Amino acid sequence: MADYYPPWGFYYKVEFGISKDANDARFQSVSGLSVEYDYESLKEGGENRFEHKLPVRTKYADMVLKRGMLSDSSVIKWFLDAFRDRQFTPADINVVLMNEQGQPLRTWKIAHAIPKKWLVSDLNANESSVVIETMELTYRYFTVQ
């Protein structure tokens, strides 16, 4: 029986269906891979000890990606097309967690993502820090493979 070790959370890549550029796969952090159900309460007549909770709808959190700002990026062009020209083109995204050999351990396939928010970190002459861009996306659902 092989020993079980939880995977490290720092070796991953983000694959956009709209970009083949390797730089567009590198992000400092990825968050928002979560799913939960909304529940509806149903009170049964004569039963006062509890109420039934029935699953109604699935909710997915918004996905947030952070990285050092790139001057040339297909993903940023996609964001700017949405915010500047109101061209919302859905894209499929894969978040791939890898092992030490660079082989995929788990893949989250995000369906129908569109830009929601784009944020550039503060510019400050008193600090020598990298400019970070934060991209927030909304999407329909994800599957895990």
Per-residue pLDDT of the chain (145 residues; tens, 9 = 90+): 566 677 778 888 999 887 777 777 888 999 999 999 999 999 888 888 889 999 999 999 999 999 998 888 888 889 899 999 999 999 999 999 998 888 899 999 999 999 999 999 998 889 888 999 999 999 999 999 9
CATH of domain 12-144: 2.30.110
- Whole-number pLDDT of residue 22: 77
Q: Establish how many alpha carbons lie within 13 A of residue 126's alpha carbon, considering only the half-sphere containing its beta carbon.
A: 0
Q: Model's pTM, two decimal places?
A: 0.82
The structural domains of the chain, with segments of one domain joined by +, span 12-144
Residue 58: strand pairing partners: 37
